[in-house]
A and B are shown apart, each in its own frame.
Chain A
Amino acid sequence: MPIHDQSYRRYGGGRTSPGRAWTVIARAGILTMIRKRAFLGLLVFAWLPFIVRAVQIYITANFPQTAVFAPTAQTFREFLEQQEFFVFVVTIYVGAGLIANDRRANALQIYLSKPLMRSEYIAGKAAVLFAFLLLVTWVPSMLLLLLQVLFAGSFAFLRNNLFLFPAITVASFLQVLVATFTMLALSSLSKSARYVGILYAGIIFFTAAIYGAMYAITGDSSLSWLSIGSNLTQVVDVVFRIKPRYATPWPVSFIVIVGLVVVSLSVLERRVRGVEVVT
């Protein structure tokens, strides 16, 4: 008689309540990414501007002769603008394969045969990209704000620019939201992560090029709504209480951004299914 029967046994343990599967997906996705050395290198690289800004804040706080370089509200807006490049790279690196790889491996029918809704699957995948994008936008921006208080030894700057906390939060989340859902929608359209990455870059550059060409022809920036990047810039400028740099009314840019997110969600709703029906 065997001491321990290694055949199939029934499970008598507990089960977690439904609705938490997205956390499992998010956790697994985040762990998978941070195991990649190249990605860790990218994250380090994405934090270099933070280090530069931190040094700037330290020097201006401790050496009065460098006061001309003292941070202002504009500094935080510029920092977020610098991070746009890393948002772009991280979005492609992390996001391109999030759904495309699952589609390539027919994993959707595995996921959706488990007790999780399609919205949970999308939320889990979105959380992976969302987390890393916040890590290169909102987290360093807020840390810079904290460092400013610490190095200056007073709350004066924060008191005078109290709007910075919500401004950084809203601007970061807006950038991250648009990048996340646009990329997820594109990722759901293909089985090739490489193709998705190229498609995302193409859309960003193509819309910018179209606007650039129209601006060169007309000399008017009122067509900036054609470019995804310009729409974000326009709205974020308003959030930071800066004069918008394009002639397009900011509500128009905001509507384009909201429209993009809605279209992306609609694409995800159609593409994330357990079975693909071709009629």
Chain B
Amino acid sequence: METRATATLEPGQPVVQLDGVTVIYGRNRALKDVSARFSRGAVGLLGPNGAGKSTLLKSLLGFVKPDQGQMSVLGLDVAERPMEIRARIGYMPESDAHIPGLNAVSFVAYCGQLAGLPAVDAMQRAHEVLYYVGLGEARYRNLETYSTGMKQRIKLAQALVHDPDLLFLDEPTNGMDPKGRDEMLDLIRDLGHNKNVNLILSSHLLPDVEYTCDHVVVMDKGQVVAQGPIEELKGPAGRVFELRVKGSLPSFIEVLQQAGMECHATDEDVMRVFVPAAASGDGGDQGAIFALAARHGVQVRHLRPSVPTLEDVFAKAVGEE
């Protein structure tokens, strides 16, 4: 199955592209010369609160006019063709948002009509989408009676009802309980991987992005600090270990660094050691550490392999140790 986006995009062309985008709110530069490419599929927009993720999404929607730079969504210029873009995207806002006085099915159908669906089709789609997001049984309830988790789901439903080519999801798991959060992430993963809907998931939660997305754009302080496929960003060939030793710690760190390994102290006597593939000895990555320890009379008390996570990528990108 092919998404409609691919019908108008050149092969390999990103669904969203930003070139030198700057957004200034008063004296605050919310986005600083941001250039990024969001490829097809599920892309995470990762960053701490205040990094500029929501501003970026709102700029792409045309809510905020950039002071500099160019943006395109699905191959269409945001400044010139905002209506065509909005007809083809779905937006799930971060904050609680609904249209007052409506029940769920009327709300979603209404959103479908606003997006250009005929009334009958909009109502049919509303029922289908509400079942999909798990609100089938509650679809005749007034929205004001919904719990936080249900409100998150209804926001996803209204973003999906007109079958967008690209979804903007702004912190979709905010305020959800663990079970609801898992279900929401499963829905997002299903949309991105099985239903061929392109999506951009904005979140400050690393596990959410890691679970649902294949690519990531990392933002910090209004700038893009890393971007690309998550697996690639997770790191070069090599392994990370948690290591605790008995002996002279500073001198052993020096030894490890001289052997081409990266060491970061994480606790009083625990450190994280990255062993590049080139530094591995005959006994493998851990063998190299044991050999160095034996050679310098240091006792290894604890050695545990650590799987590189998106957290490592993020920490590295924003310059944290």
Contacts and interface: CB of A to CB of B under 8 A. Distances in A.
Interface of A: 6-11, 13-18, 21, 24-25, 28, 32, 101-102, 104-107, 109-117, 273-275, 277, 279
B128 A106 contact: no
27 contacts: A6-B131, A7-B190, A8-B197, A9-B128, A11-B125, A15-B116, A15-B162, A16-B116, A16-B118, A17-B116, A21-B116, A24-B114, A105-B97, A106-B97, A107-B97, A107-B99, A109-B63, A110-B91, A111-B114, A112-B63, A114-B87, A114-B115, A115-B83, A115-B114, A274-B61, A279-B25, A279-B27
A8 B132 contact: yes
Contacts of B87: 15, 18, 114-115
B84 A114 contact: no
Nearest to B26: A279
A27 to B, nearest CB: 9
What are the 7 closest A-B residue pairs judged by CB atoms, nearest first? A279-B26, A274-B63, A11-B163, A113-B91, A106-B97, A15-B116, A115-B87
A275 B64 contact: yes
Contact of B28 (A11, A28, A110, A279): A279
A25 B121 contact: no
B86 interface: yes
Contacts of A9: 128
**How many B residues touch the partner, as a band?**
35 or more
Given A11-B162, A13-B121, A18-B83, 10 more contacts: A8-B128, A13-B118, A16-B117, A24-B110, A105-B98, A115-B84, A115-B86, A274-B61, A275-B63, A279-B25
B117 A13 contact: yes
B223 interface: no
Contacts of B160: 8
Contact of B58 (A32, A102, A274): A274
Nearest to B54: A275
Contact of B93 (A7, A109, A116): A109
Contacts of A15: 87, 115-118, 162
B63 A273 contact: yes
Nearest to B101: A32
A274 B55 CA distance: 12
Nearest to B30: A277
B22 interface: no
A135 to B, nearest CB: 21
Interface in B81-116: 83-84, 86-87, 89-91, 93, 95-101, 110-111, 113-116
B63 to A, nearest CB: 4
B129 interface: yes
Contacts of A105: 96-100
B206 interface: no
Contacts of B98: 105-107, 110
B32 to A, nearest CB: 17
Interface string B187-214: 0001100010100000000000000000
